[in-house]
Amino acid sequence: MLNVAVIGAGKFGLHILNVLSQLERTTGECKLVAFAEIDEALLAGRRKEFGVAGYADYAQMLRQERVDAVAVATPDPFHRPPALLAARMGKHVLVEKPMDLTVEGCREMEEEARRNGVLLQVDFHKRYDPYHREIAKLVRGGKLGRIEYGYVHMEDRIDIPSEWFPGWAPKSSPVWFLGIHFIDLARWILQSDGEQAYATGVRSKLKSIGVDTYDSVSAHVRFRNGATVSFDCSWILPKEFEAPVNQGIRLVGENGIAECDTQDRGLRSCIAGEGMRTHNLGFFSEGVDRYGAQSYGGYGFDSIADFVRNVRALRNGATLETVRQSGTALAEDGMEATKIAVAIHRSLETGDIVGI
């Protein structure tokens, strides 16, 4: 049995707990044994909800519990310490994006995982969206010809940095929290690393309400294969916007174009007193299984389940290279995405075109 623990039980940590619990209940692929969370109220609530050991100190959890693999779902700036400790103790690690906010931190994490012979996987779940996979198939199959340029937008409502995460949003940015998803996705689809970046940004709205970070960033990234992709990232959409996230991608080649509106998948509703809503069931859907238990699906589920299945596969003879070929984002991928994001932020500070 693969024993798995979670570090960080906030909004996305809860998502991971739900996925692991379902895998334990339905397929027996893993066993959720413990979690760690510094918020006392969350700690007590999750203990009751999931019926497993909960710790305020993740190091204590790793020392006391028999854990084979760990999912790290702490806020953006705080992934490195728990991931390093887990790898050092011989635990396989799934880390939420971004892997780290520095290239040096990513390199340290990658080296620690390699030194201890454990998997370090980054949860870039956009890779698991079947629509994105179809774009990758078209591009890699040469259907669009050589990709010349592309455009990405990923935007959050303002309540996410101002009400959900006001404590640590100033230590992050819309590039780190949002754009990193599509930075990795573009790199993965194009199968090319970043070469240079130029960016501009605005600090205004959020700063005026006490959250000192960028409202929005517009970045122009050139990849080594010659394609150029523009990334517009923000987290100041009105609270009244019909979805928490607005997002999409388009790529244009010599012979064709592929574009996907990943916010509006076609289902909309309007309810009195609540307003308009679009439903992204592709990412995470909820239902009830035949035993009456809550059941989840979607590519947000698949990306977590992929970690469990990769660890099991490595135990049974798979290699990191075969795992990578399946589409999984490994430590090197997390580091390359961070290199691009770091260059974007350096360009914001200097006004220069920055090499990657």
Alpha carbons within 13 A on the beta-carbon side of 260: 16
C-alpha 69/C-alpha 4 separation (Å) is: 5
Nearest to 14 by CA among 6, 3, 4: 6
Question: Could you tell me the sign of the dihedral formed by the alpha carbons of 128, 133, 139, 142, in that order?
Answer: positive
Look at residue 280 in the predicted model and tell me its pLDDT: 85
Report which DSSP code applies to 122.
E
- Tokens 């339905």 locate to 26
Q: At what angle do helices 331-350 and 103-116 cross, to 10 degrees?
A: 170
**Strand pairing partners for 276?**
270
Look at residue 265 in the predicted model and tell me its pLDDT: 86
pLDDT of residue 345 exceeding 90: yes
- Tokens 């992929």 locate to 306
- pLDDT classification of 2: cutoffs 50, 70, 90: very high
Is residue 96 helix, strand or coil? Answer: strand
Look at residue 24 in the predicted model and tell me its pLDDT: 96
**120 Cβ neighbours under 8 A, 6+ residues apart:** 83, 87, 92, 93, 95, 109, 110, 113, 330, 331, 334
Comparing 9-13, 57-61, 168-172, 280-284, the range with the smallest average pLDDT is 280-284
Contact at 8 Å (CB) between 58 and 81?
no
C-alpha 68/C-alpha 252 separation (Å) is: 44
Look at residue 205 in the predicted model and tell me its pLDDT: 98
| Mean pLDDT over the full length of the chain | 96
pLDDT tens digit sequence for 170-229: 999 999 999 999 999 999 999 999 999 999 999 999 999 999 999 999 999 999 999 999
**153 Cβ neighbours under 8 A, 6+ residues apart:** 231, 232, 233, 246, 247, 248
Structure tokens at 230: 């523009």
As a whole number of Å, the CA-based R_g of the chain is 20
C-alpha 78/C-alpha 76 separation (Å) is: 6
pLDDT tens digit sequence for 272-319: 988 899 888 889 889 998 888 889 999 999 999 999 999 999 999 999
Nearest to 136 by CA among 182, 189, 185, 184: 189
Contact at 8 Å (CB) between 84 and 109?
yes
Is residue 207 helix, strand or coil? Answer: helix
pLDDT tens digit sequence for 236-266: 999 999 999 999 999 999 999 999 999 988 8
C-alpha 163/C-alpha 207 separation (Å) is: 14
**281 Cβ neighbours under 8 A, 6+ residues apart:** 265, 267, 298
Look at residue 293 in the predicted model and tell me its pLDDT: 86
State how far the alpha carbon of 287 is from the alpha carbons of 127, 130, 293, 297, in Å: 24, 20, 8, 8
C-alpha 181/C-alpha 235 separation (Å) is: 14
C-alpha 140/C-alpha 97 separation (Å) is: 25
The whole-angstrom distance between residue 88's C-alpha and the CA centroid of its chain comes to 23
Structure tokens at 88: 């050092």
Contact at 8 Å (CB) between 92 and 68?
yes
**111 Cβ neighbours under 8 A, 6+ residues apart:** none
Look at residue 266 in the predicted model and tell me its pLDDT: 86
Q: Domains of the chain (ranges plus CATH)?
A: 3-124+294-329 (3.40.50.720), 127-288+339-355 (3.30.360.10)
Look at residue 299 in the predicted model and tell me its pLDDT: 96
pLDDT tens digit sequence for 81-134: 999 999 999 999 999 999 999 999 999 999 999 999 999 999 999 999 999 999
